[in-house]
Structure 1
Amino acid sequence: MYASRRKVLARIAALGALPWGVSARAQTGNAAAPIRLALIEGLSGPFANAGEAVWRNLLWACERVHARGGVVLPGGARPLELVRYDSKGQNEEAIAALRSAIESGARIVLQGNSSANAAALIDAIEKHNERDPERQVLFLNYSAVDPVLTNERCSFWHFRFDAHAEMRMKALMSVLREDRAVQGVYLIGQDYSFGQAVLRLARQQLAAERPDVRILGEELHPMGRVKDFLPYVAKIKASGAQAVITGNWGNDLTLLVRAAREGGFDGKFYTFYGNALGTPAAIGEAGVGRVLAVADWLPNVPDPAAEAFYRSFRARFPKPADDYVHMRMQLMIEALAQSIERAATVQSRAVALQLERADVALAGQRGTMRAVDHQFQQPLVVGLMDRQGTPGVPFDVEGSGYGFRVIRRLSADDASLPTTCRMRRPQLA
């Protein structure tokens, strides 16, 4: 099922799409077996654009490792081989892809665009690793941000490189706390574990940070199935809310903000992911000064190294629609390469022990892995949508003419939160 022509072509692309048109294996100067990375992601269906953005980011990160000679091990440098598996965003498909990846030799799994899929993969990997210690698997998570994944459901085999939802909400609240024009909010999200967590965290943090703000409505909608959000926008307008708080992502966010524009809602959007994947273009001029997004990094972070980094990404992927760059995914691959080299082996337990103390930096952004719960610690920023060319907005998003000006920066210490993780660690021979 997964040995499709597209998968084969993707594997070739991951190995061969270097600037000089040579394969990654040739670039390392030896015929060592590649280190296979299995990307299990929704690459078709309503959130395919988000999956393809992940693919581009991880491909580019692997290419940088190839360009410097590969991952250095005692037996010689080895390339990274990134192989695509389409989960279609479904738990059952993700588990089937995991089985296929393991059988093909992959011992490192990458996934992120669904906390529900991530939870299913963690459970499956835990069981597999206990049952089959000779083929243990590591799970590197770049976007699944339900807090429980590094709290109650933390796993020795799982490493999260994105800030979880509570950390992201904390960053948004640092801005909303000072936004006295907002007296009432409407909460809306996708009806699954992450969307439910965002609404719960919004209630909790509003009570702590802005007890004067009234919650005028709450809504959970089916994920990936709503084509027309105008009825939801009508309820938001009728509530009298001055702002919407949402964790929606992908097409569910694009359609929501487009409906808000068409329906004449003139309030603010406090979002987790409003900075790309069609959202700025969908809302257009109506979003200037009104759409906020929290991220680990934004292209308009004022730093010469960050600017050079972003320009190089846009040179690699010149189509305007392809310019959604994720710094955390670049740091994740750097942390993996660093950890394999320090472990001097690709054996999963040994690499995990090194990942627990990963400390990586790129283009002015630095992050460290917290060993107690495997939650990456990194700075966060909040951006406000504005026209390209205004002060602080040299870069637009996806050719839309609009970008995000950084209005708040949180250090890694400021963004950090305590954990309730009680990790069950395997016996390490």
Structure 2
Amino acid sequence: MTERFSRRTLLGATLAGLAAPAAWAQAGTGGEPIRLALIESLSGAFANTGEAVARNLSWAIERVNARGGVQTATGARTLALERFDNKGQTEESLAMLRAAIDKGCRVVLQGNSSAVAAVLIDAINKHNEREPERRVVFLNYSAVDPILTNELCSFWHFRFDAHADMRMAALMSVIREDRALKSIYLIAQDYSFGQAVLREARRQLGQQRPDVAIVGDELHPVGRVKDFLPYAVKIKASGAQAVLTGNWGNDLTLLVKAAREVGFDGRFYTFYGNALGAPAAIGEAGVGKVVAVADWLPNVPTPESAAFYKAFRQRFPDPRDDYVHLRMQLMIEALAQAIGRAGGTEAVALARALEHADVSLAGRRGRMRAEDHQFQQPLVVGVMERQGAPGVPFDVEGSGYGFRVVREISAEQAAMPSSCKMVRP
């Protein structure tokens, strides 16, 4: 799909391409599949996040394979997703990286931990220097610590999500206009990403809303807190009118459940409050109060977006599986495009092709910035409403609540400068 397509043509292509059944996945291709290694939490506290990623990537791969796979110098080949369970641990992630390379995977996919991503970047840098004949590239769909495309930027690493500072700026564009807001509580998971969220929240609040008092500033262990009631009690006792959090997975769901139980009725400004149980956990108390930033939301008001979301729901009809990310689809489209340009998966050629990725799907376009390998794409901010309210045709996870888009941020507006000093082969 290109921008030259008319809206009608683009909508038709979306419907036809996205609805391709999985049974077509191997049609019309030959040769060994190109193995993509998913290194993610597939068991333990964050297994739901890992499985959600696997669904997104599997659907994207099915779509590529349904149209004949990817073109290489030796002919058309399909893509195949190989699952490696890191159990949410950095050491296990390194073991899974070695296993993936030994199995012949030359593309690594990971995202649900910036700490894991940083370890993988370092390990891949060293591996690629030590074993040039088995080099790999790393595609990151969710690890958003800004350092990964700044101080730790790597020729082998590509980030397809907006980093935390970009997401914070999008949220701040809404907070800036909330003139009734006078006090806010900051809480996040105690690791590199959560620390970056709170650091940037303090900086941007100081610049744009110095009148807002920060009445709480707290980090908690990742994935180990089973009872968030003590945290919720402190939030309510602080008198905060709103909470800003980068929490994700069960750490977000349990936090908002606890806040609801203690009667906190303020706003939640979130990075990930739009899925994985959070809307259902908050329930009616979240209407008009839970704000989320994302690269895309199901209620983006275009026919192309609606067709994309309907196709996902057709492929995964169980409402519990409702966690679709357009950026993950764009990532696989970018990979397929780059493999075609590079003629295969030789890592240097593939990385150079990925530096020029320019892909469109469902009416949204994203382009890779070569200087730091940070994907540039539009962002949206949504507020939780009842399904059926104006602007909310779709709910989330069968909860009866969806997110109405209240702010669209263009790729140019979302862009931020980088301090990357990339070493290239």
Per the alignment, residue 68 of structure 2 pairs with: 69
Partner of 1:19: 21
User: What is the DSSP-based 3-state SS (H/G/I as helix, E as strand, rest coil) of the residue aligned with 1:233?
Assistant: helix
Unaligned runs of 5+ in 2: 1-18
CA drift of 1:74 comes to 3.0
The Cα of 1:72 is off from its aligned counterpart by 1.2
Cα shift at 1:343: 1.1
Corresponding residue number in structure 1 for 2:79: 80
SS of 1:407's partner is: strand
- Residue aligning to 2:291: 292
Counterpart in 1 of 2:50?
A: 51
Question: For the Cα contact (< 8 Å) 1:119–1:149, is it kept in 2?
Answer: yes
Displacement of 1:345: 2.3
CA contact (8 A) 1:28 1:79 kept: no
DSSP 3-state at the match of 2:252: helix
Cα deviation per residue 1:380-414 (whole Å; 9 max; x = unaligned)?
00000000000000000000000000000000000
Paired position in structure 2 for 1:421: 420
- Taking a change above 3 Å as real, the CA distance of residues 131 and 370 of structure 1, as seen in their structure-2 partners, is same
Matches within 5 A, 1:147-296: 147-296=146-295
CA distance in 2, matches of 1:408, 1:329: 21
Partner SS state of residue 75, structure 2: coil
Amino acid of the structure 2 residue aligned with 1:344 = G
> C-alpha offsets along residues 177-216 of structure 1, whole Å, 9 cap, x if unaligned?
0001110110000000000100000000000110111111
Deviation track 1:57-116 (CA, whole Å, cap 9, x = no partner) reads 000000000110000123211000100000011000000000000000000000000000
| Structure 2 match to 1:5 | none
User: Does the residue aligned with 2:81 lie in a helix, a strand or coil?
Assistant: strand
* Cα separation, partners in 2 of 1:360 and 1:18, compared to 1, 3 Å: closer
Match of 1:145 in 2: 144
The question of whether the paired residues in 2 share the 8 Å contact of 1:129 and 1:135 is answered with yes
- Per-residue Cα deviation, 1:196-253 (whole angstroms, up to 9, x for no partner): 1000000000001101111111110111011111111111111111010000000000
Q: 1:348-359 maps to which residues of 2 (within 5 A)?
A: 348-359=347-358
Q: TM-score, normalised by structure 2?
A: 0.95
What SS is found at the alignment partner of 2:273? coil
The residue type equivalent to 1:19 in the other structure is P
Letter in 2 for 1:29: T
Paired residue total: 407
Match of 1:29 in 2: 29
The one-letter amino acid paired with 1:289 is G
Tell me, in whole angstroms, the C-alpha distance in 2 between the residues paired with 1:243 and 1:323. Answer: 27
CA–CA distance in structure 2, aligned partners of residues 325 and 105 of structure 1: 28
Shift, 1:53, TM fit: 0.5
* Alignment deviations for residues 300-351 of structure 1 (CA, whole Å, 9 cap, x no partner): 0000011000000000000001111000000000000000101112211101
Match of 2:306 in 1: 307
Q: CA deviation at 1:141?
A: 0.0
Write the distance in 2 (CA, Å) between the matches of 1:355 and 1:234: 47
* SS of alignment partner, residue 315 of structure 1: helix
Distance 1:160 1:280 in 2: 27
Give 4+ residue runs of structure 1 displaced > 4 Å after superposition. Answer: none
CA drift at 1:28: 2.7
Is 1:365 matched with 2:364?
Answer: yes
Distance 1:194 1:75, change over 3 A: same
Q: Deviations over 1:352-399 (max 9, x none)?
A: 001001000000110000000000000000000000000000000000
Contact in 1 for aligned 2:330/2:361 (Cα 8 Å): yes
Secondary structure of the residue that 1:195 maps to in structure 2? helix
**AA partner of residue 69 (structure 2):** G
Q: Secondary structure at the match of 1:205?
A: helix
Which residue identity does 1:184 align to in structure 2? Answer: S
Does structure 2 conserve the Cα–Cα contact (< 8 Å) formed by 1:28 and 1:78? no
- Contact 2:141–2:159 (Cα < 8 Å) also in 1: yes
With CA pairs under 8 Å and 6+ residues apart, which has the higher RCO, 1 or 2? 2
Please give the residue correspondences for 1:93-104 in structure 2 after superposition, counting only pairs within 5 Å.
93-104=92-103
Kept after mapping to 1: 8 A contact 2:29/2:78: no
SS state of the match for residue 341, structure 2?
helix
Structure 1: which amino acid aligns with 2:241? Q
Are the counterparts in 1 of residues 187 and 243 from structure 2 also a CA contact under 8 Å?
A: yes
**Structure 1 contact 372–421 (Cα < 8 Å) conserved:** yes
Which 5+ residue runs of structure 1 have no aligned equivalent? 1-16
For the Cα contact (< 8 Å) 1:383–1:404, is it kept in 2?
A: yes
The verdict on how the C-alpha distance between 1:41 and 1:205 changes in structure 2, with shifts beyond 3 A counting, is same
3-state secondary structure, aligned to 2:39 = strand
How high is the sequence identity, in percent, across the aligned residues? 73
Secondary structure, in 3 states, of the residue corresponding to 1:72?
strand
8 Å contact kept, 1:357–1:368: yes
For 2:277 and 2:264, how far apart are their aligned partners in 1?
Answer: 19
- 1:307 is aligned with what amino acid? A
- Cα distance change on mapping 1:240 and 1:20 into 2, 3 Å: closer
Q: Distance in 1 between matches of 2:73 and 2:342?
A: 10
Distance in 1 (alpha carbons) for counterparts of 2:141 and 2:378: 15
Give the superposed CA RMSD.
Answer: 1.0
